[in-house]
Amino acid sequence: MTTPLPTFEDVSEAAARISGHAHRTPVLRSRMIDRELGVQVLFKCENLQRMGAFKFRGAFNALSRFTPEQRRAGVVAYSSGNHAQAVALSARILGIPATIVMPRDAPAVKVAATQGYGGRVVTYDRYGEDREAIGAALVERHGLTLVPPYDHPDVVAGQGTAAMELFEETGPLDALFVPLGGGGLLSGTVLAAGALAPGCRLYGVEPAAGNDAQQSLREGRIVHIPTPHTIADGAQVTHIGALNFRILRAAAPEVVTAEDAGLVEAMRMFAMYMKLIVEPTGCLGLAALRTHAEALHGRRVGVLVSGGNIDPARFAELLAAPTAP
């Protein structure tokens, strides 16, 4: 049975559901970045969201809709880090036991935070094991409810509230750059933009090493790839979600890519010009905008900054690397 696609009404209902729990994150500007790129850039700073990423929106929206029976049995999720933390924190707020399947090489700061929120962490090898199969086995064995990181209508609706808030504050934009992994954030953004800013040109941004969504939209089918090697661990996925693919195929946003070196340079810009700590995945939008700025000269452009969860030592290591010529 095909899952019905979420709508903007679902995004609006999610906004009401998460109100008072999720932060309404700020929209920030930088004159230095505007001057350097020749565009007016408005940054939606989800790195300042609860648990440090937009993922809290979708996770809390999904868990808040659990039945009493589901709440008693508990939730299971799989994630490299941000969805893990989001589910663990949402579960703690709502009094739901949480089991999180995380790769063994997930950033230590994300694993520690997930455990700190009360989540029970089960680890696996992301290059040799199937996290979806592990999650399905836990559902079968313990009667848990699975909340996947992006391929779920309540998750998509919750993620769409970030763009909804952005458009409510800024009005229509000429373009909006959105990090793209499994497609939950971009799918939710499509729903918000369709209702609030239909003239806004949407760009989904993947790591260059993992452009599975770009390939999928070009070929008209979901393309599976090996786990990509990239510093953008939040977008280190092997395929786009089935629900998300249906939404994005109908909306046809432009999908572009960013190299790891560009992510590091964007991290440096956030730190120098805006005093913000942004994880590599959260830098996908700015990194892509830097390469497309000439075509958008003088326009009002939004950038969704998806998260800021990075180990301080790793952050310092990446910024200490020599700047590319």
Residues of the chain above pLDDT 70, percent = 99
In whole angstroms, give the CA distance from residue 215 to residue 225.
Answer: 10
C-alpha distance from residue 96 to each of 57, 65, 90, 116, 242 (Å) = 17, 12, 8, 15, 27
Q: Which of 127, 146, 165 delimits the end of a domain?
A: 146
- CB atoms under 10 Å from CB of 81, counted, come to 31
The pLDDT mean for the chain works out to 95
Tell me: do 198 and 184 sit in the same domain. yes
Q: Is residue 3 part of a domain?
A: no
Tell me: do 234 and 108 sit in the same domain. no
In whole angstroms, give the CA distance from residue 230 to residue 28.
Answer: 27
pLDDT band, residue 202 (cuts 50/70/90): very high
- Taking the CA atoms of the chain, what radius of gyration do you get in angstroms? 18
pTM for this model (two decimals): 0.94
Identify the domain containing residue 124 by its residue range. 56-146
Residue 42 confidence (pLDDT):
98
Residue 325 confidence (pLDDT):
41
Tell me: do 303 and 231 sit in the same domain. yes
Tell me the two tokens of residue 53. 């990423």
**Interval 209-246: pLDDT, tens:** 999 999 999 999 999 999 899 999 999 999 999 999 99
Q: pLDDT at residue 156 above 70?
A: yes
The region of weakest confidence among 77-81, 124-128, 321-325 is 321-325
Tell me: do 69 and 140 sit in the same domain. yes
Tell me: do 106 and 193 sit in the same domain. no
Tell me: do 132 and 241 sit in the same domain. no
Mean pLDDT of the region 188-196 = 97
Show the CA angle centred on residue 293, arms to residues 290 and 298, nearest 5°: 140
Residue 70 confidence (pLDDT):
97
CATH number assigned to the domain comprising residue 107: 3.40.50.1100
Tell me: do 156 and 190 sit in the same domain. yes
Domain tally for the chain? 2
Q: Is residue 204 part of a domain?
A: yes
Tell me: do 117 and 31 sit in the same domain. no
Q: What share of the chain is helix, strand, coil (3-state, %, to 5)?
A: 50, 15, 30
Tell me: do 137 and 175 sit in the same domain. no
* Residue of 260, 254, 253 lying closest to 210 (CA atoms): 260
End-to-end CA distance of the chain: 53
| Residues classed as catalytic | 55, 80, 206, 210, 212, 306
pLDDT band, residue 323 (cuts 50/70/90): low
Which of the two residues, 78 and 206, has the higher pLDDT score? Answer: 206
